[in-house]
Amino acid sequence: MKVLVTGARGAIGRAVVSLGAARGATMLGLGHGAWTGDTDLPPLNDWINGDVSIDNLDRIRALAGLPDVVIHLAGGSHVGASIERPSEDFRRTVSGGQALLEWLRNNAPETRLVIASSAAVYGDTLGSPIAETSAYAPASPYGTHKAMVELLSNAYSIQYGLKVAVIRLFSVYGPGLRKQLVYDLFQRLRRGERDIILGGTGREIRDFLFIGDAAAMLLGASALATADWPVLNGGYGQPVSTAELARLVVTDFPEASVRFSGVGRKGDPSALVADVSRARALGLLAPTSLADGLAATRRWLDQVDVCPHP
């Protein structure tokens, strides 16, 4: 099987490439940066440095032929950045997604497409597990643009028969991901901070998905991609407050304490928790507990990062 990963140089993209290669697939990548000189980079058969565009997709085809599967991870990746620069987020997410759909329509209509979307399309779930049938209610340009790509892909499935599956990822964390709350908190603790103030109230609820499980879910969803446009939540299914997450991370640093500022970030919902019934029924349930995932993240940081160990 030949798999093209857009946004392959990002943490989730790397995890998908690594897992796909381990399973014997021919892995192709499209994204920004060089695929050399970084020990975190997994083996890749062919790589194009650049945006998701018709020209760059044609270059991939010239190098390796048409892919059997595309895992689409490219696009905006920060709520805050989308608020500060909404036009740039639109270009990266919506324009890139539409270019991919149009290229597939004209060149590879039998290729199966898996779109990595986001729980941000739901907006604020108010603590209740949210099903895939829930209405769109994004609270940021980031979530709005992800929803737009979903709707475009649905239209291409209906009108042109493209085979598409959508995975709405929740709060991904783990080895390789150098952003978000888990990474930031571990790093501050490992650098010796002992009285840490985090944004928010501590009552924000999230559903934390281990990065290896996210990669397995994205690859597994390729078998589900059809013109029926299946949509799955990519979560663990366990609501965890940011205060509880901080408590679990700080366990290994007994002299440290964490407080919350009481001020949330603009565009961040108070709760996002996945109803994973559909993923469970299809055999794509995430197996890694939060405790095991945090331990794996700590081991990775101890192995690869240069910041001093406390």
Over the stretch 167-211, which tens digit does the pLDDT of each residue have?
999 999 999 999 889 999 999 999 999 999 999 999 999 999 999
Same fold, 2-172+210-234 and 173-207+238-273+288-304: no
pLDDT in tens, 256-271: 999 999 887 776 778 8
Residue 309 has pLDDT above 50, yes or no: no
Q: In terms of Cα–Cα distance, which of 144, 72, 156, 153 is closest to 114?
A: 72
Match 């888990």 to its residue by tokens.
182
Stretch 272-293: mean pLDDT? 95
Tokens of 238: 């366990």
Tally of CB atoms within 10 A around 147: 21
Assign domain 173-207+238-273+288-304 to its CATH architecture.
Alpha-Beta Complex (3.90)
Distance CA 208, CA 189 (A): 20
Residue 166 has pLDDT above 50, yes or no: yes
Percentage of residues in the chain having pLDDT higher than 90: 83
Q: In terms of Cα–Cα distance, which of 16, 50, 45 is closest to 33?
A: 50
Pick the CATH number of 2-172+210-234 from 3.40.50.720, 1.10.10.10, 3.20.20.70, 3.30.540.10: 3.40.50.720
Residue 124 has pLDDT above 90, yes or no: no
pLDDT in tens, 18-70: 999 999 999 999 999 988 756 678 889 999 999 999 999 999 999 999 999 99
307 vs 282, higher pLDDT? 282
pLDDT of residue 221: 98
Percentage of residues in the chain having pLDDT higher than 70: 95
Match 């990062």 to its residue by tokens.
305
pLDDT of residue 80: 80
In this prediction, residue 123 has a pLDDT band, given cuts at 50, 70 and 90, of confident
Distance CA 2, CA 83 (A): 36
How many Cα atoms within 13 Å fall on the side-chain side of residue 303? 10
Q: What is the pTM of this model?
A: 0.94
Instruction: Collapse the DSSP code of 43 into the 3-class scheme (helix H, G, I; strand E, B; otherwise coil) and give the result.
Output: coil
pLDDT of residue 308: 47
Residues 6 or more apart whose CB falls under 8 angstroms from that of 174 comprise: 15, 182, 210, 211, 212, 293, 296, 297, 300
Per the CB < 8 A criterion, the answer to whether 153 and 176 are in contact is no
Residue 296 has pLDDT above 50, yes or no: yes
For residue 18, which amino acid is it?
S
Distance CA 12, CA 272 (A): 20
pLDDT in tens, 211-259: 999 999 999 999 999 999 999 999 999 999 999 999 999 998 989 999 9
Tally of CB atoms within 10 A around 216: 19
pLDDT of residue 128: 80
CA 154 from centroid of its chain's CA atoms: 20
Strand order in the sheet with 112-118: 46-49, 26-31, 2-6, 69-72, 112-118, 163-169, 231-234
Distance CA 43, CA 28 (A): 10
Residue 73 has pLDDT above 80, yes or no: yes
Q: Integer distance in angstroms from the first to the last C-alpha of the chain?
A: 45
146 vs 82, higher pLDDT? 146
Q: What does the mean pLDDT of the chain come to?
A: 93
Domain ranges of the chain: 2-172+210-234, 173-207+238-273+288-304
Stretch 265-291: mean pLDDT? 90
Residue 77 has pLDDT above 90, yes or no: no
Match 């020990």 to its residue by tokens.
39
